[in-house]
Amino acid sequence: MKGSASSSWNEGYIQANGIRFHYVEQGQGPLVLLIHGFPEFWYSWRYQIPVLAEAGYHVVAPDLRGYNLTDKPDWGYDVGTLSADVVALIRSFGYEKAVVVGHDWGGAIAWHAATFYPEQIQRLVILNCPHPNLFYKGMRQPAQLKRSWYMFFFQLPWIPEWALSRKDYQFVKRALRESAVQKNAFDHETLQRYRDAIAKPQALSKAIRYYRVMFRDFVARRSFPWEQPVKMPTLLVWGEQDVALGKELNEGLSEWVKDLTVHYIHDSGHWVQQEKHEEVNRHILGFLGSPLPTTHKEGQMSGRNKNKTRPGSKRAPKKKSSI
C-alpha cells in the first residue's frame, strides 16, 4: 500500500493547552496522532496519513508548538509542556487515548508523554529518536558528541538563526537532502515546502528554542533521568544510517520499555518515514493490527460522526487541504 498526497485531507485549527494548533487530518476511527520533528512540519507524514486512514484510523498530524501555522508563544518549549500539548490535543479532539507516533523531536515528546501520561497513550511508535535516558547517557561518548555538534551550535544567540536562514534557507534544504540516504525523498518541491514552513515569522527561532531549553535542562539535570519505564506496547523503527543519532543509543532500551518491538532499516537515514515510507507503513500497520477500540470522552460523539459541529467545540471550521 503506497501513501501519497491526497485531496481528501482536511486541515484546520484547534485550541489545546492554551494555544492554537494547526493540523491536517484524515479518516475516522481510533485516534492516531503523528508528531513531527526538526526542522519539519505536518507534511513529513504525507505518506502515513492516507495509509493509516484507509486502515480505519482517525489520523491527525499537527504542526508542533512554534512551527509553521501553529501559534508561537514565548513560553512552553520544555519537554514537559510539549508532552502536555500532546495530551491536550488528544482531549481536544474528543478522545481519552490515542496511538502516538513520533519522529525526531516528536519522538522525544512522545517518549515523555508515554512515560508521564501513560493513561492517555494506547500504543507508542518511535522513529529515529532514542529514549531520553539513553540519549543522556550517550551524550557522554565522543562519537555521539560529534554527531550532536549542531545542538551545541544552537546554544549561541542569534547566529544559528542567521546561518540557517541565509541564502533563502539553503542550509535547511541542504541538510534535509544531504543527510538522507534516499535522496528522492526530498525533491525540489518537497524542499520548497519545508523552506516555506520554517520561514514563517518566528518559526525558525522557536524551533531552535527546543534545543536551547533541552540543553539548559540537561545541564541542570532538571528533567533527567526518568525513573518510570514505558509500559504500553512500543514499536521502534530506526533508519540505520542516521548521521545525527547513532544506533548504539538504543542499547539497553529494554530496561526502559517493557513491551518492545524493534525494526532497523539499513538503507535509510534519519528521515525514515519519508525515505522508506512503504516499509515504515508496513511496520506500523503490522504493529497496530486491527483498529483499536475508539476511546472517546464521555458524552463525545464517535469518530464516525465527529465532523458534525459539537456544542462548545474548540475546533475552527475545517477546509480541504490545498497541499
Which sequence positions are flagged as catalytic? Answer: 104, 211, 270
CB within 8 Å of 321: residues ≥ 6 apart:
7, 9, 10, 11, 24
Nearest of 180, 173, 179 to residue 196 by alpha carbon:
173
Q: What are phi and psi of 296, to 5 degrees?
A: -100, 155
Side chain identity, residue 31: L
Nearest residue to 203 (alpha-carbon basis) of 73, 9, 56? 73
As a whole number of angstroms, the distance between CA 49 and CA 300 comes to 23
For the chain, give me the number of helices (H) and strands (E)?
A: 11, 9
All three cell numbers of 105? 523531536
